[in-house]
Amino acid sequence: MTHLHDGHPSASPAASHPETRGFPLGEECVLGLMLEARAKANPDKVFAIFEDGATWTYAQALEEVRTTAGALRDLGVREGELVGIWLPNGKPALRVWWAINYLGAVAVPINTAYKGALIEHVLRDSAVSLLVAHHELVPRLDAVEHEALRTVVVLGGRVTPEARGAETVPAERLWASDTTPLARAADRKPWDLELIVYTSGTTGPSKGVMMPYFQIHQAMLTYQWLSADDRFLINLPLFHVSGLGAALVPLQYGASFAMVADFSTTTFWDVVRRYDCTAVLLMGVMATFLMKATPSPRDRDHPLRLVQMVPLAEDAQAFHERFGVDVYTCFNMTEISSPLLAGPQPSPIGSCGRLRPGIEARIVDEHDLDVPEGETGELILRSELPWAMMSGYLNRPDATAEVWRNGWFHTGDVFRRDETGAYFFVDRVKDALRRRGENISSYELEAEVCRHPAVREAAAIAVPSPVGEDDVMVVVAPVPGVEIDPEDLLRQLVDQLPHFMVPRYVRVVPDLPKTPTAKVQKHLLRSEGAVEGTYDREATGFKVARQRLSR
């Protein structure tokens, strides 16, 4: 079993570390203690509404979490242990996550689109011994190595599928009526770990970001405009930091939430009206899709009043005027805690906001020297308070040291700052891609492309998308004497990759352009883009379906 008892596996804060001098009490930021405090103060207040019609008051939420925590304890989970969650949005996913933390363990949410090498890497890197998984995902475990995994708790399905090398038990064990609930939350501290969230790698496999409770508490300052009277709409997945944060916002502010499976342009406003939602986070192109929908007489007939738009779209002001909502924005990463905030109706358009109190920022060159005001460079950050950013990357002290060099967290993103203190995102230093709200590791995508027997080498790059963010292109060079069939390559990738990682474009070249030190010159490929002869699967009708799990 993997256990992490403190904010970092090799360093424990002194027992006398005060919960004063700007530091919160446990019930102000530690999930289990915060849930107990909310349930005591407002036991009958409606807290959660789910898509299946179920509702929780604060008292009921605490009761359900206590029961599930007791069941996890009976299955052998102990404080500090890492526990995997491989579930779609819904009451079970939230209940399991909060029960893991209530017990004092560390939750490891996993993308439900992962398969093959991606899920194998997460299981091997985290070494979780217990995984709670949707029954349609369990068969994927047969194709991968997972030495540490001993128990798979299976949600749904008439028959509990087998998982090679692990015992499978039905999820009914987690909420059985004869389970003795956990009497009280584990006494965790703000610097203890709450979550390990895997974020896309750029020069290697995805890294597990170790997130202490206080980091997440600080990230919630993004939503300081929320009140206890608001109802937050959660339509982002609970395996992304955006969805995880959206689920914690209402708890921190004593508000309520409605949770749905995902975002849909066609049903968004109906969902807002049905659940009487007043606030929402719109990531990536979600706001653009809503703006491109046909105008309706009901565009202002809804209870929504606050939208957190990330990034701030060019038509943010038009969004505000059309739908009658206040627009806010921020900049965040899994590793940090929302250092830049702006709104309502932030200006200038394109800005990620200004520094919130307690955060320092610099824009630097490749040697960590400040660039002149107005010029571009990498954004680096640090916090006045400890534990307000990640504790490091799991099992990656080298990567942790690299990103924290010279005492500053290096975002890997190019920014500029204007004379008013507004920050503007310019480009990515890192070689990650972002499509439809999903971060994509070029390293992992290239590794899968190169598994095709006709491919000698590959480079994954971003090309502009007409709806914002990126479309994905792979530039491939063939094995000598062999031709690459783009459709055949894509068919193999569909079987091995999440839907969002399957490239739109395939360009075949004799050789990839390289520097004298044999590094691929991706900037040349980006500047050329989708040249004539590039295969475009959307133009040819090659469809990539997103797997939708049964409810």
CA separation (Å) from 246 to 36, 231, 239, 252, 500? 19, 11, 11, 10, 22
CATH classification at residue 76: 3.40.50.980
Residue predicted with more confidence, 37 or 202: 37
Average pLDDT score, the chain: 90
- Asked if residue 225 has pLDDT above 70, the reply is yes
Q: Does residue 173 belong to any structural domain of this protein?
A: yes
CATH classification at residue 469: 3.30.300.30
Residue predicted with more confidence, 278 or 201: 278
The mean pLDDT of 457-476, rounded to a whole number, is: 88
Backbone angles phi, psi at 544, to 5 degrees: -120, 110
Give the model confidence (pLDDT) of 393-424 as tens digits. Answer: 999 999 999 999 999 999 998 899 999 999 99
- Enter the tokens of residue 153: 């708790």
The mean pLDDT of 336-364, rounded to a whole number, is: 92
Biggest CA–CA distance in the chain, Å, is: 73
Q: Does residue 94 belong to any structural domain of this protein?
A: yes
Give the model confidence (pLDDT) of 98-155 as tens digits. Answer: 999 999 999 999 999 899 989 999 999 999 999 999 999 999 999 898 889 999 999 9
Q: Does residue 423 belong to any structural domain of this protein?
A: no
Looking at residue 3, what is its pLDDT? Answer: 56
Looking at residue 517, what is its pLDDT? Answer: 53
Residue predicted with more confidence, 10 or 325: 325
- Asked if residue 448 has pLDDT above 70, the reply is yes
Of the pLDDT bands very low, low, confident and very high (cuts 50, 70, 90), residue 18 is very low
% the chain with pLDDT above 90 = 69
- 8 A C-beta contact, residue 320 and residue 326: yes
Of the pLDDT bands very low, low, confident and very high (cuts 50, 70, 90), residue 299 is very high
Give the model confidence (pLDDT) of 36-58 as tens digits. Answer: 999 999 999 999 999 988 999 99
Of the pLDDT bands very low, low, confident and very high (cuts 50, 70, 90), residue 518 is low
Looking at residue 480, what is its pLDDT? Answer: 86
- Asked if residue 183 has pLDDT above 90, the reply is yes
Looking at residue 8, what is its pLDDT? Answer: 35
Residue predicted with more confidence, 338 or 343: 338
User: Of the candidates 213, 229, 259, which is a domain's last residue?
Assistant: 213
Between CA 173 and CA 479 the distance in angstroms is 52
- Asked if residue 551 has pLDDT above 80, the reply is no
Pairing relation of β-strands 455-464 and 438-441?
unpaired
Looking at residue 546, what is its pLDDT? Answer: 82
Q: C-alpha dihedral over 496, 498, 501, 504, to 10 degrees? A: 80
Q: Does residue 116 belong to any structural domain of this protein?
A: yes
Q: Does residue 288 belong to any structural domain of this protein?
A: no
Between CA 210 and CA 389 the distance in angstroms is 9
Looking at residue 9, what is its pLDDT? Answer: 33
Looking at residue 307, what is its pLDDT? Answer: 96
**Residue numbers of the domain that contains 448:** 432-540
- Asked if residue 6 has pLDDT above 50, the reply is no
- Asked if residue 16 has pLDDT above 50, the reply is no
Amino acid making up residue 61:
A
Looking at residue 542, what is its pLDDT? Answer: 92
- Asked if residue 259 has pLDDT above 90, the reply is yes
Of the pLDDT bands very low, low, confident and very high (cuts 50, 70, 90), residue 360 is very high
Q: Does residue 136 belong to any structural domain of this protein?
A: yes
The mean pLDDT of 441-454, rounded to a whole number, is: 87
- Enter the tokens of residue 218: 């600080």
Q: Does residue 453 belong to any structural domain of this protein?
A: yes
Domain count, the chain: 2
Between CA 77 and CA 193 the distance in angstroms is 15
Q: What is the DSSP letter of 508?
A: E
- Asked if residue 358 has pLDDT above 70, the reply is yes
Angle (nearest 5°) at CA 9 between 5 and 14: 70
Residue predicted with more confidence, 292 or 105: 105
- 8 A C-beta contact, residue 549 and residue 93: no
Q: Does residue 520 belong to any structural domain of this protein?
A: yes
Of the pLDDT bands very low, low, confident and very high (cuts 50, 70, 90), residue 430 is low
Closest CA to 191 of 225, 217, 214, 160: 214
- Enter the tokens of residue 387: 């534990």
User: Of the candidates 185, 213, 241, which is a domain's last residue?
Assistant: 213
User: Of the candidates 193, 213, 233, which is a domain's last residue?
Assistant: 213
The mean pLDDT of 348-377, rounded to a whole number, is: 92
Of the pLDDT bands very low, low, confident and very high (cuts 50, 70, 90), residue 301 is very high
